[in-house]
Chain A
Amino acid sequence: MSEPKKEEKKTESNVKVPSRILLVGLGGMGLNALTRMENYSEEYADRVAIDTDGAALKASNAPRSLQFGAHLTDGMSTGGDVELGRRSANADFVKFREIFYGMELVILLTGLGGGVGSGAAPAIAQTARDEGALVISVATLPFPFEGDERARIAEKSLDLLRRSSHAVITMPNQYLLEDIGTDETMDDAFRRADEQMGAGFRVVWRLLAQHNLINLDFNSLKHMLESAGGVCTLVHAEAAGKNKAQLALNRVMKHPAVKNDNVLNDANGLLVGLLGGAEMTLLEVQEIMHGISNAVHSNARRFMGAGIDPSMKNRLSLMLLVGGKAEEAKPEAAPIPRKPEPAPADRKKPKAEQKELILQPTSKGRFKDVEPTIYEGEDLDLPTFIRRGMKLTR
């Protein structure tokens, strides 16, 4: 490790068969995010912009773009019409199959609440999934000031998206407000959020693409996402200097997305990705893993990968992908009907509703290995009795 140059060469020659990763920007919010994440996709991920709006596609700088539903929208935006977005996606799904053909990992960036994001994203994610890709959707949720209607639309499509993707990473816009600098412009705030996401994913595909000190493979990622039950949180932090491990760890732990909802405490799956310069020490790796492990539930499944990136001299990039809530992993052991969960959950905030839904995969009995029957966003394989929040008389 003392010879960075040699290490660099080694890394180069150790590149695995390139993963086929596609970064998709869908709709207005998604196109912006795709543009801002441009610098992070490197050679590992292809980028494609998707929208109904031809002008918006032209304005984006993605190497490839795909317009859909043009005959329904006259090549314009959907104007927030979710149904139009959905129909457009279904009408043109053959186009999507072509771009997803042979992809291993599809990361779908989109904003929920509008027409294209809310309407088309679930259908597009499903198409990617049907083509055999591992699908991670990154969904931006509207600001509270955008109104209840938008929040409701977003919530509904988030539920659909969660079913069609392997995992959904939500980025509530309100987090942007929480650690905002007083004079930060809107553009800066969005950029910061997207760049953080981009940097996080960069760690993921770097680790997937090369042989590492501690290897991360595709199956680990898949297992982690599957055990997560659908909703994930991704945070990333970078630090430099002598104390970089401690610093990066602190930043991650204090991130509003981690801190606010107690996600670490409730996690049932966790993936830690580390990228550092050739000088990264085992002690640093241990410090970070120890710090994170202390914060998570002992039942949580942990995966990690750590690799060398020669360009990261004296810097450390830490990515944390947290999935699910630990208590939902248990229904096999505890009698479900006695859980007082379903009824009160209805009255809680949207967050709580997601939490309750994660319960599903383990309580499907004989239908757990077959494709679910989804009707208007509900998984009909689950007992109606449970879905309706009914309780046994005892």
Chain B
Amino acid sequence: MPVPPVVALEIGTSRVRALVGEEREDGYLMITGVGECASRGVRKGDITDFDNALSCVEQALKTAEDQSKVSINQVHVVVTGSHIQGTISRGTTPIIPPDSEITTDDIEEVMESARAISLGPERRTLHSIHQQFFVDDQEGVVNPEGMVGAKLSVSMLILHGVRNRIMNVMRVASSAGVQTSGCAFAGLCSALAVLTPEQKESGCVVIDFGAGTTDYVVYANRCIALAGSIGVGGDHVTNDLAMVLRIPTGPAEKLKVDLGVQVPGGEVQDQPVTIQPSGGFAGRTARLTDVNAIISARLEETLEMIHDELRRNNLHNVMGAGAIVSGGGAHLKNIVEYTASVMNMPCHMGRPRNVSGIATATEGPEYAATVGMLRYGIRSGGGDAQPLSIRGMLGRLFGR
């Protein structure tokens, strides 16, 4: 029986994107429809104007439908926002009788106890990803089934966010007349789309620079060690330029795109930069060194927040494959070199892997999260409306 196409929807801060795709037998994703629309009513990943966001979603879905010639009934929704946090939870269960063989029931039970953390009524779990098992405190057990012990523990990464904010995103989708068959964190989706098995194996951090948020996912010690979202994105760079230079956001955005970020160490001759007039703005000149300083101050700060998080968890030395940047912000000039220099590790551009079909969606790092969502949607059971159960999902995350 042919698998029906899956639809991924990302209601981003700068763009709303809908992708229609199906998995081919060789594992490649075949993208058959792309719908895209400049986003309105979204700030820092959160819905701030429902009606505006809705009309963008409707438009994106319509375009995707027209292009793929399917009627979209269900979508998988990408969520982000600085409210999304990762908590590492550890569950423990006794093996009864002691020193007997560990069964799948024991594993199920210990994972259940690790999942049962109290997040408060306003939060909900997005993903619970198991990291490693411990049998009688022996670390790093990948599969404890059949082992013998008295005590089984597991550490899990619980990704959770504010229920209402997630609901708001889902509600925009459902108001557009489609069912939502689950949601996933943007950072995780990006990682799923861009990473090679080798990168996961050697340890790496995926940094997805969005317009509203910067999401990160850390693979270390053969598991997803950390993940989170910082409420700072490309919009902040633009806003910083606008605020400090006192220019409108339009010219500020152009300035950012034209100049990109200056890699530390490279000598730059200071020179005037002309900011063209637009609208009611009369135009002016700024100094290149100032513009560079404003942009790099912001990016450095954001990257250092991620680096600090790595250092706090003692993971900064195990990033063998370094940093992989994706998201719309990955188009910023010199961002790869800049990230490498601030994070003090190798850095690569992360583009969606193993994708064919419509070119725009297969090449750009800005499609990483949406493409990843497609892959995620297909593996979590395609069109059916199962909430994302992660049991076994991790194996698949690593599988390819």
Contact = CB atoms under 8 A, between A and B. Distances in A.
Interface stretch (A62-70, A259-267, A301-309, A378-386): A378-386
Report the interface size class on chain B. Answer: 20 to 34
B242 A365 contact: yes
24 contacts: A94-B120, A336-B244, A364-B243, A365-B242, A365-B243, A366-B43, A366-B242, A367-B44, A371-B46, A373-B231, A373-B232, A380-B231, A383-B294, A383-B298, A384-B298, A385-B240, A385-B293, A385-B294, A385-B298, A390-B293, A390-B297, A393-B289, A394-B287, A394-B290
Query: Which of B240, B244, B301 is the most central at the interface, judged by chain A CB atoms within 10 Å of its CB?
Result: B244
Contact of A365 (B48, B239, B270): B239
A213 interface: no
Interface in A53-75: none
A181 interface: no
B235 interface: yes
A393 B293 CA distance: 10
Interface string A363-375: 1111101110101
A172 interface: no
B43 A335 contact: no
A368 to B, nearest CB: 10
B282 to A, nearest CB: 15
Contacts of B82: 373
B38 to A, nearest CB: 15
A367 to B, nearest CB: 6
Contact of B236 (A369, A381, A388): A381
A392 B243 CA distance: 12
Interface of B: 43-44, 46, 48, 82, 120-121, 230-232, 235-236, 239-240, 242-246, 249, 270, 287, 289-290, 293-294, 297-298, 300-301, 305
Given A94-B120, A367-B44, A375-B230, 14 more contacts: A93-B120, A336-B244, A337-B244, A364-B243, A366-B249, A383-B297, A384-B240, A384-B300, A385-B240, A385-B294, A390-B293, A390-B297, A392-B244, A393-B289
A384 B82 CA distance: 18
Contacts of B242: 365-366
A87 B194 CA distance: 37
Contacts of B240: 383-385
Contacts of B230: 373, 375, 380
Contact of A373 (B44, B246, B249): B44
B48 A385 contact: no
Contact of A366 (B239, B293, B305): B239
Nearest to B48: A370
Leading 6 A-B pairs by shortest Cβ distance: A373-B231, A383-B240, A384-B297, A384-B298, A365-B239, A370-B43
Interface in A151-194: none
Contacts of A97: 121
B294 A393 contact: no
Contacts of A367: 43-44, 235-236, 239
Nearest to A376: B305
A367 B298 CA distance: 15
A73 to B, nearest CB: 18
Contacts of B245: 337, 392
A382 B48 CA distance: 19
B244 A386 contact: yes
Contacts of A383: 239-240, 243-244, 294, 297-298
Given A365-B242, A383-B240, A392 B232 contact: no
A364 B287 CA distance: 22
A386 B245 CA distance: 11
B44 A370 contact: yes
A56 B244 CA distance: 50
A392 B293 CA distance: 9
Contacts of B43: 366-367, 370
Contacts of B287: 392-394
A380 B236 CA distance: 9
Contacts of B270: 393
Interface string A255-281: 000000000000000000000000000
A386 B239 CA distance: 12
Interface string A352-368: 00000000000111110
Interface in A326-343: 335-337
A381 B243 CA distance: 11
Contacts of A337: 244-246
Nearest to A331: B243
